[in-house]
Amino acid sequence: MPQAPASVDIIFRLLRELPETTRTDLVARTGLSKATVSETIAQLLANDLVTETGKRQPGRGRRQVLLQLRNGSRLVIGAEFNEHGCRAVLADLRAGPVRFADRSFTSAEPEDFVNALEECVAELRAVATAPVLGIGIGVPGLVDDAGRSVAISVPFNWRDVPFAALVEERTGLATTIANRAKAAALGEYWQGSPSDLADRSHLAYITAGAGIVAGFVIKGDPYYGHVGTAGELGHTTVEPDGPQCGCGNQGCLYMLASESAIVRHVREAHTATPVHVRASHPPLDMHDGITIDDLSVAMKDGHPLVVQAIERAARYLGIAIGNLINIMNPSHVVIGGSLAAFGDVLLVPLRAEIQRRSLWDARNRLSIAPSKLGDDVGPIGGAALCLSRVDSSRMIHPG
């Protein structure tokens, strides 16, 4: 496959971020010469990646041809592995969703995840109207810096699972993986809110659910850290003498604010509550398989033990996120994951704790909001992950 010049990557990135632009704009923004920009645009036009949409008159100067990325000229597949199965999306060159597919599974074995993804991919490829460039997957756990394997996943008890190779063997599509929160951060940057790129120039996405992880996007580039472990918020210490964590540390946020921690706290509080007091509470069936979804239903009924557990988790999350704000100074913090569904019961004490813990300068002009993409953020993030790593030569010559 012929190698595309570096200018293609530079210009393609701007075309992806700008609704419309001109050759003159691209020269000014990139610092590339007029000749290089013209040659690159000619190449992208010839390969149907860009279209000319009209002309504009900049004051008294010559009319300039408007350029726009042809979003649907190439497609990618994004996916997320979650606690229930696989959710995938067929997406365009801006990670815009074309069609979703879902598959569930009966166990948390890696093989079941791959089987579910393979079925999703087959469904999506069957309706693809343009070449599919590859797959990006958000996975639970720490991922090696090459984006190939899950080194460890505490909630799923995985170690050294080569997901990228397994998926490539099944689908024949180039595959890259990242921690699902870090992929979701890219999804929020590309497709989320706010719409102004400046407002999310330093974006932190926090997923709080079965695990707790932060993902960072800094001026369009994901930040993974030296070996890919940046953002492991769930394994920061928020209670020095707290419970032992499976990672080997003590007092991790994961042990105090994750789904399992909340369920455990409710169970312990329920056991410690006298029977006559329980009788005054709304019904709560504390069966062995109780889940965060069951607690969400109970919270809607105003069950005080559930509200107390969510508020407690929110305070611990606020401590950790307050520290993150002081260290990273983000412009926008997005809260996602299953706990975000608890709405203000989570967000009000969370914001109050952040207010207490973070420096005024760090939180000045900072927005904190739940994800507007909801369950779609994971697969959209996977699509953005694929696009952020796909070689421009493969875009130009997808065969």
In this predicted structure, what is the pLDDT of residue 64? Answer: 83
Summarize the confidence of residues 315-326 as an average pLDDT: 96
- Binned at pLDDT 50, 70 and 90, residue 292 comes out as confident
Q: Which of 383, 396, 389 is nearest to 94 (CA)?
A: 383
pLDDT tens digits for range 244-271: 998 889 999 999 999 999 999 988 888 8
Counted domains in the chain: 3
Residue 126: CB atoms within 10 A of its CB come to 10
- Binned at pLDDT 50, 70 and 90, residue 299 comes out as confident
Same domain, yes or no, for 82 and 228? Answer: no
CA 302 – CA 264 distance, rounded (Å): 19
In a domain, residue 294? The reply is yes
CA 50 – CA 8 distance, rounded (Å): 12
In this predicted structure, what is the pLDDT of residue 178? Answer: 92
Same domain, yes or no, for 311 and 223? Answer: yes
- Binned at pLDDT 50, 70 and 90, residue 118 comes out as very high
Is residue 274 scored above 90 in pLDDT? Answer: no
Lowest mean pLDDT among 193-202, 292-301, 357-366, 385-394: 193-202
In this predicted structure, what is the pLDDT of residue 121? Answer: 97
Q: DSSP strand E in 96-250: where?
A: 97-104, 132-139, 142-143, 150-153, 158-161, 175-179, 202-208, 212-218, 221-223
Lowest mean pLDDT among 105-119, 192-206, 320-334: 192-206
Same domain, yes or no, for 92 and 64? Answer: no
In this predicted structure, what is the pLDDT of residue 204? Answer: 95
In this predicted structure, what is the pLDDT of residue 4? Answer: 60
In this predicted structure, what is the pLDDT of residue 360? Answer: 87
Same domain, yes or no, for 78 and 110? Answer: yes
Same domain, yes or no, for 108 and 17? Answer: no
Q: State the Cα angle at 110 between 108 and 112, rounded to 5°.
A: 70
Is residue 3 scored above 60 in pLDDT? Answer: no
In this predicted structure, what is the pLDDT of residue 392? Answer: 77
In a domain, residue 1? The reply is no
In this predicted structure, what is the pLDDT of residue 399? Answer: 65
Same domain, yes or no, for 204 and 339? Answer: yes
In a domain, residue 127? The reply is yes
In this predicted structure, what is the pLDDT of residue 59? Answer: 65
In a domain, residue 310? The reply is yes
Average pLDDT over the chain, rounded to an integer: 89
Which H or E run includes 391?
none
Summarize the confidence of residues 73-90 as an average pLDDT: 92
Residues shown for the chain: 399
How far CA 57 is from CA of 46, 52, 61, 64, 69, in Å, comes to 25, 15, 7, 6, 20
Lowest mean pLDDT among 98-102, 119-123, 373-377: 373-377
CA 370 – CA 51 distance, rounded (Å): 35
CA 212 – CA 200 distance, rounded (Å): 21
- Binned at pLDDT 50, 70 and 90, residue 381 comes out as very high
Summarize the confidence of residues 90-109 as an average pLDDT: 92
What backbone torsions phi and psi does residue 53 show, to the nearest 5 degrees? -105, -5
Q: Which of 238, 262, 253, 231 is nearest to 333 (CA)?
A: 231
What is the pTM (predicted TM-score) of this model? 0.86
Is residue 1 scored above 60 in pLDDT? Answer: no
Nearest-10 crossing angle of helices 34-46, 23-30: 120
Summarize the confidence of residues 305-331 as an average pLDDT: 94
Q: Name the residue range of residue 132's domain.
A: 74-186+377-396
3 or 365, greater pLDDT: 365
In a domain, residue 252? The reply is yes
Summarize the confidence of residues 281-294 as an average pLDDT: 80
Question: Which residue type is seen at 50?
Answer: V
Same domain, yes or no, for 31 and 90? Answer: no
Same domain, yes or no, for 13 and 135? Answer: no
* Token representation of residue 281: 């509470």
In this predicted structure, what is the pLDDT of residue 327? Answer: 93
In this predicted structure, what is the pLDDT of residue 5? Answer: 67
Same domain, yes or no, for 170 and 149? Answer: yes
Range 324-336 burial, b when 16+ CB lie within 10 A, else e: bbeebbbbbbbbb
3-class DSSP assignment, residue 43:
helix
In this predicted structure, what is the pLDDT of residue 109? Answer: 86
Give the end of a domain, one of 40, 69, 98: 69
pLDDT tens digits for range 33-74: 999 999 999 999 999 999 998 887 666 667 888 999 999 999
* Token representation of residue 314: 């929110």
Summarize the confidence of residues 336-358 as an average pLDDT: 93
Question: Which residues are within 8 A (CB) of 65 and not within 5 positions of it... i.e. 6 or more apart?
Answer: 22, 23, 52, 54, 55
Q: Which residue has the tokens 């709560």?
A: 284
* CATH, residue 366: 3.30.420.40
In this predicted structure, what is the pLDDT of residue 394? Answer: 78
Summarize the confidence of residues 126-148 as an average pLDDT: 92
C-alpha 226: how far from chain center: 19
Q: Which of 18, 16, 37 is nearest to 26 (CA)?
A: 37
Same domain, yes or no, for 248 and 361? Answer: yes
Same domain, yes or no, for 344 and 385? Answer: no
- Binned at pLDDT 50, 70 and 90, residue 389 comes out as confident
Can you give the three-state secondary structure of 110-123, one letter per residue? Answer: HHHHHHHHHHHHHH
Residue 285: CB atoms within 10 A of its CB come to 7
Same domain, yes or no, for 295 and 230? Answer: yes
pLDDT tens digits for range 157-209: 889 999 999 999 999 999 999 988 899 999 999 887 656 666 778 999 999 99
